[in-house]
Amino acid sequence: MQEITEWINTYTGLKEATQWNIMESVIIFVVLLIIRKLLLKLINRFNDDVRQTYRWRNVVNYVTFIIGVIMIGRIWFEGMQSLATYLGLLSAGIALALREPIVNIAGWAFIIFRRPFNMGDRIQIGNAAGDVIDIGLFQFAINEIGNWVDGDQSTGRIIHIPNSKVFSEYQANYTEGFGYIWNELTVMVSYQSDWKKAKRLLTDLINKHTEKEVRDAQKALSNSTGKYMLMYSKLTPIVYTKAKDNGIALSIRYLIKPRARRQSEEVLWEEILTIFADDPEIDFFAAAKNPPPPPPPIR
C-alpha cells in the first residue's frame, strides 16, 4: 500500500493524506448509494400508495445527501472531528449568505412532517391555487387552476412556489378535512314571478342531484372528526331567498367535490333553464316585462 501511495504521489503530486481522504470519500459515497438503493427498493416493495412512495423517496434522497455532506466534510476539514463543532461552524458560515435556501429547507421539513397539504391535494397559497404535483427540497409545484379560467379548472400553467411561503402565506386546502366544499349557485327571478314555486322547484332539483353526495359526505365527516373538530349540523342542500333591486335572488347552497364544481353547475343550469322555460309563472329578468322607454330623438 505504501508503494502505491508513493507512486500516486510521484505521478499526480497528491500527498498521502489527500489520497486517503479521497479513498474514504469514495467509500462513503458508494456505501450511501447502496443504502439509498436498498431503501428505495424496500419502499417500492412494501408501499402501494403512490403518494407515500413519492414522499418517502424524497426523504431518503435528501437524508442520504445530508449525511454524505456531513461525513465527507468531516474528512476534508481538519480540526472538525467533532460533529457539533462542524455543524456549528457550517451553519454560522452560511446562515446569512443562504438565508432563503435554509428557510426553504425548513419549509420542506414542515410540509413533509406537519403535512398542511399532500401530493395531489388542491390548495390555495396566497393568490395562487392549483393541484400539488411536486414537493421538492426548495420549492413545490402546483398545476394552476382558476385565474382567467372559470370553474376552478386548470389553466395549463405550472407554478413553482418556494417552500418558505408556508411560513408567510395562508394556505387553504380544498381536499383536506372531509373532502367536500360548499358551493353556491344564484338564480335571479323577477318580482312578477311566483318565487315560492321557483324556490320549491330548485329545492326538489338540488335534493335529487345531491342525494348521493350527502350520504358520502356524512360518512366522510364522521371519519374526519379524529383530526379536525368540524361542526356541521346539516349537510343537506338548502335554497336561500334574498330580495334585490332587480329581482329575487334564490341561492342554492350544496356540497360538492372540489373538482366537480363546474360540471355540477352546468348540469344544474341546464335543468333550471329547461324547467323555468316551460313555466309561464316564472321569469328570470324583471326588466323583460317593462323595458325602459327609448331615448328622445336628437334634433
**pLDDT tens track for 124-144:** 999 999 999 999 888 999 999
Q: What is the CATH number of domain 118-173?
A: 2.30.30.60
Domain boundaries, the chain: 2-97, 118-173, 181-287
**How many CB atoms neighbour CB 167 within 10 A?**
11
The CATH number of 181-287, from 3.65.10.10, 1.10.357.10, 3.40.50.300, 3.30.70.100, is 3.30.70.100
Same fold, 118-173 and 181-287: no
pLDDT range class, residue 40, cuts 50, 70, 90: confident
pLDDT of 223-278, one tens digit each?
Answer: 765 666 777 778 899 999 999 988 999 999 999 999 888 999 999 999 999 999 88
How high is the pLDDT of residue 156? 92
| Other beta carbons less than 10 A from residue 212's beta carbon | 8
- At a CB cut-off of 8 Å and minimum separation 6, what does 153 contact? 145, 146, 262
pLDDT in tens, 214-223: 888 888 887 7
With 80 as the cut, is the pLDDT of residue 293 above it?
A: no
Q: How far apart are CA 250 and CA 67, in angstroms?
A: 61
Query: Which carries the bigger pLDDT value, residue 285 or residue 154?
Result: 154
pLDDT class for 297, splitting at 50, 70, 90?
low
Q: Is the pLDDT of residue 299 over 70?
A: no
C-alpha 241/C-alpha 243 separation (Å) is: 7
Helices (H), 77-159: 83-94, 99-114
Residues of the chain above pLDDT 70, percent: 78
**Residue in the block written with cell 379560467:** 149
Radius of gyration of the chain (CA): 31
Total number of residues shown for the chain: 299
In this prediction the pTM is 0.62
- Report the chain's mean pLDDT, rounded to a whole number: 81
201-217: average pLDDT: 92
